[in-house]
Every structure is written in structure tokens, then in C-alpha cells.
């Protein structure tokens, strides 16, 4: 995974830690600081259980100061994101909020399957397309001797 100082990530196994910030890295490890709990975690770069947090136009995000921004545009520079949009408390437009200044207490406002970048929409669509076939296959009565022996009595 490509890590950059200042990027925001969330732990897949400890989501209660909130939003983490990359504060150190070397060739093999990356350190995330989770400001909402004050804890650090050291992960292997090659197989870390973390997900990059990236918001999209149309989302509403909160700054560490508590004000909210409705995102119109997402910019990336040197691996870091900047969100441009309308500040909801002052209605000021073209406001930029850098990802390092996001509120650390991340709350998902959409179902987890939509928020997760792990599964693509194509993957979800293909799973939905084959689900009826899987159900039919699993509900078919098995007629072979091997299956008959494994059926519950």
C-alpha cells in the first residue's frame, strides 16, 4: 500500500479508534496516530489491516474544529487529499479542507458495504447475479450415496 505522511486511514479491526493519521513510516512499517484515543499503532506496510479514507463529491465531512463541508471536488497532490466545497455553517463556497484536518471521530453515514473500498460495485453486482443460482444449488436434494451419508438424520 502506498502510504504518505498525513494521510488518513481507519483500522479494519479496531474501528472504534476512529480516523488515524500516518505519522511515521520506514521500508517495512507504518505508524498511525489515532487522535480520538491518543493511541499509536504500528503496522506492517505489506499487509496492514487498514483502509484509506477517501470521501467523494456529495459527501458531508467534519473538520477537527467541528464545522462541516459539503464536498464539491476532491483534489490529490503528492498522495494527500484536499476537499473543496461549501462550508455549511457560513455557506462560504470554494472552501478547502485538507484531509489531515478531518475530525478523528469518523462516523459512517452510509451502509458499510457502500463505504468499503474493498469490494467494487462490479463485484457486488456479480454476487447479486449469481445468488439465485447458489440458492437453487444449495436447496437441491442430493441423491448420491456420499451425500446421503452426510445428510442429518
Q: What was the pLDDT predicted at 113?
A: 43
pTM above 0.85, yes or no: no
Q: What was the pLDDT predicted at 76?
A: 97
Using 50 as the pLDDT threshold, list the residues of the chain that sit under it: 109-116, 118-120, 142-144, 147
Give the phi and the psi of residue 106 in degrees, each rounded to 5. -75, 130
Please name each of the domains of the chain with its CATH number.
8-52 (2.30.30.140), 60-101 (2.30.30.930), 112-150 (no CATH)
What pLDDT digit, counting tens, does each position of 70-86 carry? 999 999 999 999 999 99
Q: Which of 89, 92, 94, 60 is nearest to 75 (CA)?
A: 94
Contact 5, 22 (CB under 8 A): yes
Q: Which of 20, 32, 98, 114 is nearest to 65 (CA)?
A: 98
Query: From residue 14, how far is each of 50, 63, 69, 70, 145 by CA, in Å?
Result: 9, 22, 26, 27, 46
End-to-end CA distance of the chain: 50
Distance between CA atoms of residues 72 and 58, nearest Å: 6
Amino acid at each position: 500500500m502506498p502510504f504518505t505522511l498525513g494521510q488518513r486511514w481507519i483500522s479494519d479491526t479496531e474501528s472504534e479508534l476512529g480516523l488515524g493519521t500516518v505519522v511515521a513510516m520506514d521500508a517495512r512499517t507504518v505508524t498511525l496516530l489515532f487522535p480520538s484515543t491518543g493511541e499509536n499503532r504500528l503496522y506492517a506496510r505489506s499487509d496492514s489491516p487498514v483502509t484509506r479514507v477517501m470521501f467523494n463529491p456529495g459527501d458531508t465531512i467534519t473538520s477537527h474544529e467541528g464545522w462541516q463541508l459539503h464536498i464539491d471536488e476532491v483534489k490529490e497532490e503528492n498522495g494527500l487529499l484536499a476537499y473543496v466545497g461549501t462550508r455549511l455553517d457560513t455557506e462560504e463556497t470554494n472552501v478547502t479542507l485538507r484531509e489531515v484536518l478531518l475530525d478523528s471521530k469518523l462516523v459512517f453515514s452510509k451502509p458499510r458495504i457502500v463505504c468499503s473500498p474493498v469490494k467494487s460495485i462490479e463485484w457486488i453486482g456479480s454476487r447479486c447475479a449469481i445468488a439465485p443460482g447458489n440458492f437453487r444449488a444449495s436447496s437441491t436434494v442430493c441423491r448420491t450415496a456420499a451425500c446421503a451419508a452426510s445428510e442429518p438424520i
